Each structure stands twice: as C-alpha cells, then as structure tokens.
Amino acid sequence: MAEKLLKDLIDAIIKLDIEKATNLTKSMIDKGITAREIILDGIMPGMKAVGEMYERKDYFLSDLLFGAYLSEECFKLLEPLLAKEIKKVPIKGKLVIATVKGDIHDIGKKIFTSLMRAEGFEIYDLGVDISAETIAEKVKEIEAEVLIVGTSALLSTTAPYFKDVHEALEKAGVRDKVLFMTGGPPIVTADEVNADFYTNNAFVGVKRALEYVNKKKQ
C-alpha cells in the first residue's frame, strides 16, 4: 500500500497537482507511513523528476518553481512528524548560498537551491546583495561534514566579487573545509576568483556537489 501511495505522490508532484500531492501526504501520515519514507521515496524523487523535465525544456521556470513550492507545502505537513521520528532523514550535506553584494538577481540561485534540496541538502539561503563577511560568518557558524558555499552573480561588476568571498572564507579559516562554487553567466572563470568550480548550469552544479559528497565519504 505504501508503495502505491508513494508512487502516486511522485506522479502528483510531476504533474504539479498540489491538491493531490498534499492530500496524499496527509493520508500517508494518517496511515502511519514515516515522514522519512515520504520524503526520501516520494517528495525527493518527484522533485528530481520535475528538475529533469525542466532540463529537457518540457517544463519552464514557472513549473520548476511551482514544483519547489508544492514540495515545500508537503514538507510543512511533515514537520511535526519529523521532530518526533528517531530515525532522521539523512542529509547529504549543507549548502550556504547567496547572491553577492551589489547584485539582486536570484532566479538562477533559486533553481540551483531547489534542485539541491531535492537531492537532500540542507539549505541556508542568505538572500541577495550579501557581503563576503556575512557569508564567511555563516559558514563558520555551521557545523557539517559536507559543507558547500554557493555564490551567484549576473553582473559584470559583481561577478569579480566572488574573489572577495574566497578571501573572507580564508580569513575566517574555513576556505579549505568547503567546496566553493560559483554560478551565473560566464563572466569570470573559477581560477580568476579562486573558486573551486564555476558553472552556468544548475544541473552541472548539482552533479559537482554530489561528486564532492562521494569524495568526502571515501
């Protein structure tokens, strides 16, 4: 029974049917299926499929963002359960992400964030127009085996600021403990700003993050 319901949930998420997805989540809670299962075998694969459809251009930004919204609504229903469950949902790692100082473009950042959430990362989205120091402070505060710092910039004037983020991370003594990724259109290279990685494709970014997780595990 659980298997069928989980499959239906994945299907509802793929079809972006919010009513069906939330109703299914509620009825699974009532039937005693764990939040862990609902998340790992329902919401996450559903959202991942939505991401893949976006990549194939079967879905557009409005669809991807609605998928993320819908998943969030399901998560909210599961929150009380999650707090009580002993066997926690495993997280693959933590992502601190921000659009850098002087820049307010955040659509691409949101895409990357929602894909990373679907892969099981815990997200700390600091917002837009964020200083290097604020990013470094947050990174220092967070404890995690796998810690990724993502910065986004779309302006030629702000992309070079990635280098300031690198320096602030160094100054805070955390630079070598994290994977530092940058994204946005090709204005600077990773080398130019001392980042570990640059991409203008959120899916490539996720792939790189997962490789990092695997490397850390070894």
Partner 1 sequence: MLDVLERALTSLEGKEPDEVPVVLLVYGLVLKSIAGVSEYEYYQDLDLQLKAKLEFQRMFPDVWNVTMGTYPEYAEFVGPMPTAFGGEIEWLEDAPPYVSEYPIKEPEDVDRLVEAGIPDPRTDGIAPEFLKRLQYFLDNFPKDIREKYNYLDGNIYPGLGPSEGASLCMGYDTFLVWMRLHPDVLHKWLDLTTTWLIKYCEAIEELVGKCKILFLPDHSASMVGDKFFNEFILPRLNRIFKHYKGALRIWHNEGSVGHMLSAVDKIDAEVWHFGPFDDSIECKKKTHFCLMGNIHPPWLAKATPAEVEEACKELILNTASGGKFWLSTGGGMAPGTPFDNIRAMFKAVEKYGKYPIKR
Name the residues that contact partner 1, by CB under 8 A. 16, 18, 57, 59-63, 65-66, 69, 102-104, 107, 110, 128-129, 155-158, 185-187
Query: Which does residue 59 bind out of partner 1, ligand B12, none, counting CB within 5 to 8 angstroms by kind?
Result: partner 1
Alpha helix (H) residue ranges in the chain: 2-14, 18-30, 35-38, 44-55, 61-84, 107-118, 132-141, 162-171, 202-217
User: Do 116 and 91 form a contact (C-beta atoms < 8 A)?
Assistant: no
Structure tokens at 102: 């002087």
Query: Which does residue 152 bind out of partner 1, ligand B12, none, counting CB within 5 to 8 angstroms by kind?
Result: ligand B12
Minimum Å gap between C-beta 64 and ligand B12 is 9
Query: Which does residue 66 bind out of ligand B12, partner 1, none, counting CB within 5 to 8 angstroms by kind?
Result: partner 1
Query: Which does residue 119 bind out of partner 1, ligand B12, none, counting CB within 5 to 8 angstroms by kind?
Result: none
Minimum Å gap between C-beta 75 and ligand B12 is 22
Query: Which does residue 72 bind out of ligand B12, partner 1, none, counting CB within 5 to 8 angstroms by kind?
Result: none
Minimum Å gap between C-beta 11 and ligand B12 is 25
Q: Closer to partner 1 at the Cβ: 27 or 69?
A: 69
Q: Closer to ligand B12 at the Cβ: 15 or 104?
A: 104
User: Do 142 and 96 form a contact (C-beta atoms < 8 A)?
Assistant: yes
Distances (CA, A) of 63 to 50, 116, 130: 8, 17, 27
Q: How far apart are CA 98 and CA 7, in angstroms?
A: 34
Name the residues that contact ligand B12, by CB under 6 A.
102-109, 111-112, 150, 152, 154-156, 181-185, 199-202, 205
Q: How far apart are CA 201 and CA 40, in angstroms?
A: 25
Query: Which does residue 202 bind out of ligand B12, partner 1, none, counting CB within 5 to 8 angstroms by kind?
Result: ligand B12
Q: Closer to partner 1 at the Cβ: 93 or 108?
A: 108
Residue with the two structure tokens 């669809």: 63
Nearest Cα neighbor of 47 from 69, 79, 24 is: 69
Minimum Å gap between C-beta 137 and partner 1 is 21
Nearest Cα neighbor of 9 from 94, 109, 78, 65 is: 78
Minimum Å gap between C-beta 205 and partner 1 is 18
Q: How far apart are CA 146 and CA 157, in angstroms?
A: 30
